[in-house]
Amino acid sequence: MGVINLTPDSFSDGGSYSTPDAAWAQIDKLILHGAEIIDIGAESTRPGALPVPPAVQIDRLGPILTRFKHRYSVGLSVDTTSSAVAEFALQFGTDIINDISALRFEPELAGHIANWDAIVVLNHSRATPETMQSQPHYDDVVSEILSELTQSITLARAAGINKIIVDPGIGFGKTLDNNLETLRHLRRFETLGYPIMVGTSRKSFIAKITGETDTSRLAGTISSTLWAINNGARVLRVHDVEEVSKAVNVWQRING
């Protein structure tokens, strides 16, 4: 899953693809290098980010979503917590709604996804992007994420959603130790019975280990992504598709 943010303030690529021409060029590149799904966001969910009104998100997404399925055959994912944005996106053939709140913010979002028989990514987080990194606390991080994702799965299933991906939410309301513990026990999420998605790409926990000051964090992205796929992840959400695809190809060949 290749990431592209149509935002001025995303933590890694904010402002880089805020014009349609720049966005199309990057999407072309991601697909050329092996992305099987493109995940498009119009609202930053980095720690400290403020909410973006649905109308603004729709305005950012419109030039891309209205033409995406005419240009490409790969999967299309929209990263949003808004039911209004999701409803707009789904009418243009969006396959996946990637909800970092796992239906906490707008439970009615589940009904829109079910009506279009789309896939939902239930991404674990706590609080809101603005506040989620303000002293996050867990007594047993993996057990608590499992419990909270189970609640979201129940809500999704009750709304009629049949296609679910779970994401333990690396970096979303978690300390460095929380993130490492979650990755260390990633296979426990297989008990939920749905494919696991992991997004460690360029996240700040990597810099806390490596001491890097920029946001590329490529070596840490590759190593954590390979750890994830070796421990049950089936969808890898990354910015650097070319480099990660090559690394995954080598891993797959070694693994037979």
Distance CA 138, CA 142 (A): 9
Q: What is the pLDDT of residue 4?
A: 94
Residues spanned by the domain of 52: 2-255
Q: Compute CA distances 181 → 105, 128, 147, 171, 212, whole Å.
A: 26, 22, 16, 12, 21
Position 48 scores a pLDDT of 79
Backbone dihedral angles phi then psi of residue 251, each to the nearest 5 degrees: -55, -45
The SS3 call for residue 118 is coil
Q: Would you tell me how many other CB atoms lie within 10 Å of the CB of residue 249?
A: 11
Structure tokens at 239: 């910015």
Q: Which CATH number do you get for residue 211?
A: 3.20.20.20
Interior angle at CA 30, CA 242 and CA 130, nearest 5 = 100
Phi, psi angle pair for 4, to nearest 5°: -140, 130
Packed helices 241-255 and 20-32: angle between N→C axes, nearest 10 degrees: 20
pLDDT of residue 14: 53
Judge contact between 3 and 27, C-beta under 8 A: no
Strand partners, 76: 38
- pLDDT by residue (tens digit) across 36-56? 999 999 998 877 788 899 999
Please give the tally of structural domains in the chain.
1
pTM of the predicted structure, to 2 decimals: 0.95
Give per-10-residue mean pLDDT for the chain (256 aa). 84 70 96 98 84 94 97 98 97 98 97 98 93 93 98 98 98 97 98 98 95 91 98 97 98 94
User: From CA 30, how far away is CA 223, in angstroms rounded?
Assistant: 20
Catalytic residue list: 203, 237
- pLDDT tens digits, 9-32: 555 555 678 789 999 999 999 999
